Amino acid sequence: MNAIYDVVIIGGGMSGLMAAAALVQKGRKVALISKGDPVCCFSTGCIDLLADGDDPLQGIGSLPDNHPYRLVGEDAVVRSLELFREIISEGGLPYVGDVHVNRGVLTSLGRCKTTCLVPETMKFSDFDSDEYIHVISFYKMKDFYPQYITSRYTNAGHSVFDPGVITTAGIAEKFENKPFLESFISWMKGLDIPEGRIALPAVLGRSRAGDVYREVSAGCGRKIFEIPTLPPSMPGLRLFGGLKKALLRRGVNLYWGKGIYSVEKLGNRIEAVTLDSAGRTTRVEGRAFILATGSFVSGGLQASMDSVTETVFDLPAYLPGGRESWFNDDFFAPGHEIEKAGIRVDASFRPVDTEIENLCVCGSILAFSEVMKYRCGHGMAIATGVAAAEACGRLV
């Protein structure tokens, strides 16, 4: 059985999901194909726009001309973020923040990370360093060690709760259980914590995190916030799970857990892709396609000893010099050259140096996106995802 879609999106990360959202909003018939849960599940769940300066949007104008943000433009970036907030809040965990203001969130190493929009559970994360901070940790939790944080602040304390399990996901699951939640809240009430804020690792539930957070906050009447942890981290899973659910409700057809087996072309057009599924093959036909398969880490790009290839359509990929120039010597030096690798596109997000007419590209697979250098990962993905969807919509 074949289905014909207006647009077929390949890649279930942030940019692919947002492209789907933008297209269904315009009444398009959309399919989204993902070979598995995306790398954005590993993220902090925060939306980084651009780390430099107080106003991230202002910084976009000073990025290099070939940066994907420059193709989108400030107004379209703002619109895309509005769409993101609208969709994500449907799942009960709204995002807070002002797109014109960068803010800090506390990390599991006690560092302050610059981001812009944060889930409600982190809304009190931008605390003043003079303010007292009390860290709640969990007995033997293997991915959270409060000393990394308390040692950085002169005015800090910590208490330990024993949840009976040691993994992030295990503790988060317990928080969705009513008696457990109540026993935790009553334990919190019994603590003698000085005036200030309370931080705890991001374990306050998974799909019901908004409710859990509000119950804990109301229960102890304090300003509480979550700290993102090492993967698998809850905020990333919640963000991605929330978007996926919202898209399903809006009628996007999801092909999950399936890679692309083959591509059918007719002349300069891609006609269909065949999916690698158990027992049979599924052919997905579309009038236009969006490639949102991410960078190396997500498998959209693949490097050999001396070249880089795009893994679905074999598009020509930009490569910054030979292998010896791909990485800096210092792990901590921001911006390795290899981050510039990817697919170059024109103003309509269509790949250059190829004959294919009905394909747009978005997200971190775009050349020159340099998400680690500019700390613009999710923001750039949302903005280019929506912009590429609009451009692609014009093609069909």
Partner 1 sequence: MIRTDVIIIGGGSTGCGIARDLALRGIPHCLIEKGDFAAGATGACHGLLHSGGRYVVNDPEAAAECIAENMILRRIGRKCVEQTGGLFVRLPGDSKRFRDLFLKGCEEIGIVTEELSPSRALDLVPKLNPSLEEAIRVPDCSIDPFRLCMLNIISSQKRGGQILTHHRVIEIIREHGRCVGVKAREEATSEVKEIRGKVIINATGAWGDQVAHLAGGSVPITLSKGSLVVTNHRITNMVINRLRPSADGDIVVPNEAVCLAGTTSIAVTDPDRIGVDPAEVDIIATQAQEMLPDFGTTRLIRTYAGVRPLLKADGEDGRAISRGFRIIDHQDGLFSILGGKLTTYRLMAEKMTDSIMGVFGLKTKCKTAEHPLEGQEELRGYPLSSRLKSLEGIVCECELVTADVVERVAGQIGTRHIGDIQHRTRLGMGPCQGGFCTYRALGIMQEMGKMTPDESMRVLREFLQRRFKGIKPALWGDQLREEQLIEYIYLGILNMEQEQ
**CA separation for the pair 172, 189 (Å, rounded):** 20
Place of tokens 């698998």: 232
Site size for partner 1, by CB under 8 A?
Answer: 50
**CA separation for the pair 213, 218 (Å, rounded):** 9
**CA separation for the pair 119, 226 (Å, rounded):** 9
* Segments in the chain forming alpha helices (H): 14-25, 56-60, 68-72, 74-89, 147-150, 168-175, 178-190, 209-220, 234-249, 371-374, 377-395
Q: Counting contacts by CB under 8 A, is residue 164 touching partner 1?
A: no
**Residue 34 vs 233, nearer CB to partner 1:** 233
| x/- track of binding to partner 1 for residues 16-35 (CB under 8 A) | --------------------
Burial class (CB in 10 A: 0-12, 13-18, 19+), 164: exposed
Paired residues of 318 in beta bridges: 342
- Enumerate residues 172-191 that contact partner 1 by CB under 8 A: none
User: Min. distance of Cβ 331 from partner 1 in angstroms?
Assistant: 4
Note whether 133 and 196 are within 8 A (CB).
Answer: yes
Q: Counting contacts by CB under 8 A, is residue 296 touching partner 1?
A: yes
Q: Counting contacts by CB under 8 A, is residue 147 touching partner 1?
A: yes
Stretch that binds partner 1, among 26-34, 61-69, 280-288, 303-311 (CB under 8 A): 303-311
Taking each helix axis from N to C terminus, what angle separates 14-25 and 74-89, rounded to the nearest 10 degrees? 90
User: Min. distance of Cβ 109 from partner 1 in angstroms?
Assistant: 5
**CA separation for the pair 301, 294 (Å, rounded):** 7
Note whether 280 and 258 are within 8 A (CB).
Answer: no
DSSP SS3 for 33: strand
Stretch that binds partner 1, among 15-23, 183-191, 271-279, 326-334 (CB under 8 A): 326-334
Q: Counting contacts by CB under 8 A, is residue 66 touching partner 1?
A: no
Q: Counting contacts by CB under 8 A, is residue 65 touching partner 1?
A: no
Q: Which one among 58, 309, 334, 352 touches partner 1, defined by CB under 8 A? A: 334
**CA separation for the pair 350, 26 (Å, rounded):** 20
| Angle subtended at Cα 33 by Cα 390 and Cα 257, rounded to the nearest 5 degrees | 155
Stretch that binds partner 1, among 81-89, 173-181, 251-259, 321-329 (CB under 8 A): 321-329
**Residue 285 vs 337, nearer CB to partner 1:** 337
Q: Which one among 96, 169, 303, 356 touches partner 1, defined by CB under 8 A? A: 303
Q: Counting contacts by CB under 8 A, is residue 113 touching partner 1?
A: yes
**CA separation for the pair 180, 170 (Å, rounded):** 12
Q: Which one among 25, 66, 107, 354 touches partner 1, defined by CB under 8 A? A: 107
**Residue 265 vs 323, nearer CB to partner 1:** 323
Q: Counting contacts by CB under 8 A, is residue 154 touching partner 1?
A: no
**Residue 56 vs 377, nearer CB to partner 1:** 377
For 30, phi then psi, to 5°, come to -125, 140
Q: Which one among 65, 279, 332, 355 touches partner 1, defined by CB under 8 A? A: 332
Note whether 97 and 120 are within 8 A (CB).
Answer: no
Q: Which one among 42, 161, 187, 318 touches partner 1, defined by CB under 8 A? A: 42
Please give the residue ranges that form the binding site for partner 1 (CB under 8 A): 39, 42-44, 107-109, 111-114, 140, 142-145, 147-148, 150-152, 166, 228-231, 233, 295-297, 299, 302-306, 323-324, 326-327, 329-334, 338, 372, 375, 377
